[in-house]
Amino acid sequence: MWIVTGATGFIGSALIWELNRHGEKNILAVDHVPPSERPEILKKRAYARFIQADKLFDELEDSALARSIKGVFHMGACSSTTETDEDFLRRNNIEYSQSAWEFCARMNIPLIYASSGACYGDGTKGFDDARNPADFTPLNLYGWSKLKFDIWAMTGHPAPPRWCGLRFFNVYGPNEYHKGEMSSVAFKAFNQIRATGRLRLFRSHHPDYRDGEQLRDFVYVKDIVRWMREMMETPSVASGIYNMGFGKARSWLDLAKNTFANVDQPLEIDWIEIPANIRNQYQYFTEAKMDRLFAQKLSRPQWSLEKGIADYVNSYLKQEDPYL
């Protein structure tokens, strides 16, 4: 049996889709949010049972259940970059992750957990997953909580036999619809264009970047969950931190043009000012250094921005049922 935490969230539910595609149905789905509150997100998915996140480790006191677990995908966390409650983030993003780690170490099973590209802060020190995590300074408490756990994982605690911390970059794709302000610009762009025929984007306040040419590493969720499955299935994958991006930065204009094209509307953009309170923290470039992941002999990215946006818009966002 596999454990997937964050099962009613974006990446967790997409991972269950990927596991189901490969015949895996014996899955323990775990989340703070029950399927009854997001009935669409797991409606088409097969899994053995659902457990509330705060009950998981009590349930795992059952030695028979614990011994049946083959591996843990720990995607559950508070993923809001605007969260200001440090104690809440410590409980959800650090202490809960430590419990998952300690369970996997005790039971001698592999762990894959969600870190974040937010660990890299403003990007001035690069986006290298092989660099000492202590070198980076996140811009918000969410990034701080993810970096704290990465540092904890790498400082000599009894460890699972294999573990991988995944630093997600700009992930977009189906099943993100509940995320509100934290949803991808791809999803927001589709909704704005369908509603108004126009898209609002931040103008540039940096002399080296023209409006819309700010760069991000956009990665389709189907690439992410395929890599996660491959990592769990491949015993030769080395333990450690891995970036999860496409590996090539693209501009906001690239994303906008592809979204407009897939809804058959002409490009119409309204440039808006970056709010003064976040202007000094705004990132003009992110690009995941992917050498370490590719050295593990896993698959290469399969979803370019062009292919990913086309699939997302036409196979999901335009459909009556947009879920995986």
Q: How far is CA 213 from CA 207, 208, 254, in A?
A: 11, 9, 8
Task: End-to-end CA distance of the chain: give it in Å, rounded.
Answer: 22
From the candidates 96, 142, 312, 323, which is the catalytic residue? 142
- What values do phi and psi take at 234, rounded to 5? -115, 100
- What values do phi and psi take at 201, rounded to 5? -130, 150
Q: What does DSSP assign to residue 30?
A: E
From the candidates 177, 179, 188, 282, which is the catalytic residue? 179
If one counts every other C-beta atom within 10 angstroms of the C-beta of residue 278, the result is 10
Q: Indicate if 47 belongs to the active site.
A: no
Q: Indicate if 96 belongs to the active site.
A: no
Radius of gyration of the chain measured on its C-alpha atoms: 19
Quick one: angle between helices 252-262 and 185-196, nearest 10? 50
- Report the catalytic residues: 142, 179
